[in-house]
Amino acid sequence: MNLEIRAKRPFKFHSVISSHGWSALAPFVWNAETGALQRTEMLTSGRVVLLTLRESKNGIAVTVRGRVNQRERQELMEKIAWMFSLDLDLNEFYAAVANEPRLAHVQREAHGRFLRSSTVWEDVVKVMMTTNIQWSGTKRLVRVLVETFGAPYQNGGDGIPDAFPSPEPIARTRESRLRKLGLGYRSPYLLQLARGVVSGKYDLDALKDFTRPTDEVRKALLALPGIGPYAAATLLMLLGRYEFLGVDTEALSSVSRGFYGGKPIGEKEVQAAFARWGKFKALAYWFWDWDKS
DNA sequence: TTCCAGGGGTAGA
DNA sequence: TCTACCCATGGA
């Protein structure tokens, strides 16, 4: 089955793909040569389908492999619209940074949409897997979680990853098993998170509610096991809220070089350097052109 | 071998 | 609110 989903302009498929590292994490498979993003997706019915997404004239062209009914088709359209922030209006951001040379490229490149997973649960887990680890390790841990707990695409096929696991199979496992998979001290955090989601203690979908103030959403994120200031800021950014900056070791070094002449700085200095961008702080930092002076 | 990563939790001030 | 310290694992 083929679908086309329209995007609010300006929209560039590749800008979303390259927005951050998510397209390299299972069950996403990005093929730069063909320009196709593949993803194995489990629907709420439990059915697992294979999606292939490409840029189209007005948005995204979707190929679905696997039978879906009308309701599942609607679910897929909504999930894809969420993953690519197709309804996001970035014009206020572009206007706010129009006079900043180091952000001159953002409108031209249609920057500002971050590739998201189809559920907040998956994004929370993935952000947790980026903490205190190198990117190669993040990719490995996510792949191991998908291989161990994910639901397979029934129609088979070589090299097609399983769908990202729902919280249930992880909630049923033991901490020792997660440790054996290499998650280290993240193991109890992931286990508590999965069990809390299954029990209803944590309502992750409620974090998408844009009528809630950002501070409230941030507090809810910080209350999750294994989610601290950095992870909460990163997740807020993925949720379309840009007031907070996720300060990691990379931010410390690039802001030190770009704003403080290379002298050692702390988180405060990073926040101060981008304070002027207000509610677009995270966007300004993320797309800052460090090569321009 | 040592250091540390796209940090978080906790205790103590 | 801020700091010091510990935490598991694998890459460099």
pLDDT at residue A135, as a whole number: 96
State the sign of the Cα–Cα–Cα–Cα dihedral A99, A101, A107, A112: negative
DSSP type of residue A121: H
**Angle A254-A258-A264 from CA coordinates, rounded to 5°:** 65
**Residue–nucleotide distance: A102 CA to B4 C1' (Å):** 31
**CA nearest neighbour of A128 among A48, A194, A172:** A194
Q: What is the pLDDT along chain A (293 residues), one digit of tens a residue?
A: 999 999 999 999 999 999 999 999 999 999 999 999 999 999 999 999 999 999 999 999 999 999 999 999 999 999 999 999 999 999 999 999 999 999 999 999 999 999 999 999 999 999 999 999 999 999 999 999 999 999 999 887 778 999 999 999 999 999 999 999 999 999 999 999 999 999 999 999 999 999 999 999 999 999 999 999 999 999 999 999 999 998 988 899 899 999 998 888 888 899 999 999 999 999 999 999 998 86
State which nucleotides on strand B lie below 7 Å from a protein beta carbon: 4-9
pLDDT at residue A154, as a whole number: 83
**Angle A49-A55-A57 from CA coordinates, rounded to 5°:** 125
Instruction: Please state whether strand B lies within 7 Å of residue A228 at its CB atom.
Output: yes
pLDDT at residue A164, as a whole number: 98
**Residue–nucleotide distance: A26 CA to C1 C1' (Å):** 39
Alpha helical stretches, state H, chain A = 13-17, 70-83, 91-96, 105-108, 120-128, 135-149, 167-171, 175-180, 187-199, 214-222, 229-238, 249-259, 267-274, 281-286
pLDDT at residue A293, as a whole number: 66
Which residue has the least CA–C1' distance to nucleotide C7? A185
Instruction: Please state whether strand B lies within 7 Å of residue A130 at its CB atom.
Output: yes
3-state secondary structure of A49: strand
Structure tokens at A21: 């590292």
**Residue–nucleotide distance: A249 CA to B2 C1' (Å):** 19
Residue type, A216: E
pLDDT at residue A79, as a whole number: 98
Instruction: Please state whether strand B lies within 7 Å of residue A225 at its CB atom.
Output: yes
Instruction: Please state whether strand B lies within 7 Å of residue A198 at its CB atom.
Output: no
| Cα Rg of chain A (Å, integer) | 19
Work out the end-to-end distance of chain A between its first and last CA atoms, rounded to an integer number of angstroms: 49
**Residue–nucleotide distance: A184 CA to C6 C1' (Å):** 14
pLDDT at residue A15, as a whole number: 97
pLDDT at residue A181, as a whole number: 97
Measured from the Cβ of residue A97, the count of other Cβ atoms closer than 10 Å reads 20
